[in-house]
């Protein structure tokens, strides 16, 4: 709640340092909200968690009141706008108090009641660099309306003075402002400016907690459960809970014994399609993921990533690139050589045209470096040992290659 509400932010001391003694901080353990109706608070809670606000027009006043009291400026603006539009300027005095540029700001910020509104919590320490030319004139510090840098520009503007279908339906009795939906979708149910062409709803929504843009209609609630930890889908057989029902469905295969993905080459069957895919690479022997440093090949991309993160390829087990062509070594060679204290005679950014020739040239000191790094062997002949090892390895690979051919 503190992420979207100035009131809660101050209540729980999140802005201490900014507000000084205004924050109640730890002294408040029980918060009684007499001034907000349960329905309005429920709507605001829903907004805090899902960035979606559903309001009956009859409850709009209560939600507006609650949003003002709790300092949820974007919701207050949205309610104020929808009331102003549907009730034909019920409060002209309030309207007159707005700065002249206010309505223009609203259009830019999409802070219209039935159009998308995305609260973006910005860190109090983050510089206030308004995007879309917007800083909330009346809003709490740190709260931006649809100013997130991740939001595509196409979603941050709507055609002026083109009331959406929802706006019109809202005027007819029920308004269901979908706060957090895309600009394009909010305007006329997907109609884009001017063309009137229906655009398939992809509905990118920004998570109010992590600011991540979630693509796909109806996917934000699913994402929000990763923050709340809510696992509403429970296995009736073993009681294990899941955040998603499709994961529960796959889990149930354990109990039913269903393995719908059989291997065509062996009796193995799998729970997941991607398990079968991984398995098939074993039959084919394909190892399409090759380490650019040591040229070790892996059947799975994540195994290559793990290999590279572990820096195990820095053992200087230099292998030749896999046929037919190997990757360019430039940066990786420099990294390896410098990592072993070997001077690298390359200008920054220069490419190394024949990395293996250079490697032969420095094989001897590299051997010493490797020996030192590994605890060292005999003080004599280390270079030749390293060199011979490399040569032997090459010969082995040549032999293997000839056999393959």
Partner DNA sequence: CTGGGGATGGGGCCC
Partner DNA sequence: AGGGCCCCATCCCCA
Residues that bind DNA (CB under 7 A): 52, 178, 181, 185-186, 189-190, 201-203, 212-219, 221-223, 226, 242-247, 249-251, 254, 268, 270-275, 277-279, 282, 296, 298-303, 305-307, 310-313
CB of 201 to DNA, least distance (A): 3
79 or 179: whose CB is closer to DNA? 179
Structure tokens at 343: 């001077």
364 or 373: whose CB is closer to DNA? 373
Whether the CB-CB separation of 114 and 166 falls below 8 Å is answered with yes
312 or 328: whose CB is closer to DNA? 312
Q: Is the dihedral of CA 163, 164, 170, 176 positive or negative?
A: negative
CB of 68 to DNA, least distance (A): 25
201 or 335: whose CB is closer to DNA? 201
Burial state string for 274-304 with b = 16 or more CB within 10 A and e = fewer than 16 = eebeebbeeeeeeeebbbbbbbbebbeeeeb
List, as one string, the DSSP characters of 243-298.
S-HHHHHHHHHHHHT---EE-SSSS-EESSHHHHHHHHHHHH----EE-TTT--EE
Question: Phi and psi at residue 190, in whole multiples of 5°?
Answer: 110, -10
192 or 278: whose CB is closer to DNA? 278
Whether the CB-CB separation of 375 and 369 falls below 8 Å is answered with no
146 or 181: whose CB is closer to DNA? 181
CB of 4 to DNA, least distance (A): 18
CB of 199 to DNA, least distance (A): 9
CB of 22 to DNA, least distance (A): 34
User: What is the pairing mode between strands 269-270 and 261-262?
Assistant: antiparallel
CB of 215 to DNA, least distance (A): 4
Integer angstrom CA distances of residue 329 from 118, 254, 310, 386, 395: 46, 46, 19, 20, 21
């Amino acid at each position: 709640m503190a992420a979207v509400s100035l009131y809660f932010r101050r209540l729980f001391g999140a802005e201490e340092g900014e507000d000084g003694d205004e924050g109640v901080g730890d002294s408040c353990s029980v918060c009684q909200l007499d001034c907000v109706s349960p329905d309005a608070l429920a709507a605001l809670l829903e907004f805090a968690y899902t960035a979606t606000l559903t309001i009956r027009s009859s409850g709009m006043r209560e939600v507006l009141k609650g949003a003002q009291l709790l300092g949820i400026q974007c919701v207050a603006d949205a309610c104020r706008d929808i009331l102003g539009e549907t009730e034909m300027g019920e409060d002209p005095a309030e309207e007159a108090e707005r700065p002249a540029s206010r309505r223009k700001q609203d259009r830019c910020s999409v802070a219209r009641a039935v159009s998308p509104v995305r609260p973006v919590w910005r860190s109090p320490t983050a510089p206030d660099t308004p995007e879309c030319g917007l800083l909330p004139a009346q809003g709490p510090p740190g709260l931006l309306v649809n100013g997130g840098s991740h939001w595509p520009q196409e979603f941050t503007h709507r055609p002026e003075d083109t009331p959406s279908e929802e706006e019109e339906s809202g005027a007819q009795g029920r308004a269901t402002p979908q706060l957090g939906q895309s600009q394009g979708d909010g305007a006329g149910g997907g109609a884009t400016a001017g063309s009137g062409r229906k655009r398939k709803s992809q509905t990118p929504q920004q998570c109010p907690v992590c600011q991540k843009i979630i693509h796909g209609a109806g996917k934000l609630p699913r994402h929000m459960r990763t923050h709340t930890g809510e696992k509403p889908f429970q296995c009736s057989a073993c009681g294990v809970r899941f955040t998603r029902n499709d994961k529960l469905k796959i889990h149930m295969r354990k109990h039913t014994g269903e393995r719908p993905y059989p291997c065509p080459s062996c009796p193995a069957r799998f729970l997941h399609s991607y398990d079968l895919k991984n398995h098939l690479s074993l039959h084919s022997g394909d190892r399409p993921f090759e380490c650019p440093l040591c040229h070790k090949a892996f059947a799975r991309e994540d195994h290559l990533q793990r290999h590279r993160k572990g820096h195990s390829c820095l053992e200087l087990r230099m292998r030749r690139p896999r046929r037919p062509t190997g990757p360019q070594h430039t940066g990786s060679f420099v990294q390896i050589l410098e990592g072993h204290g070997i001077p690298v005679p390359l200008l920054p950014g220069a490419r190394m045209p024949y990395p293996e020739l250079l490697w032969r040239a420095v094989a001897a000191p590299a051997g010493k470096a490797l020996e030192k790094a590994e605890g060292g062997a005999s003080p004599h002949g280390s270079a030749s040992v390293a060199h011979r090892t490399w040569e032997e390895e090459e010969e082995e690979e040549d032999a293997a290659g000839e056999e393959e051919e």
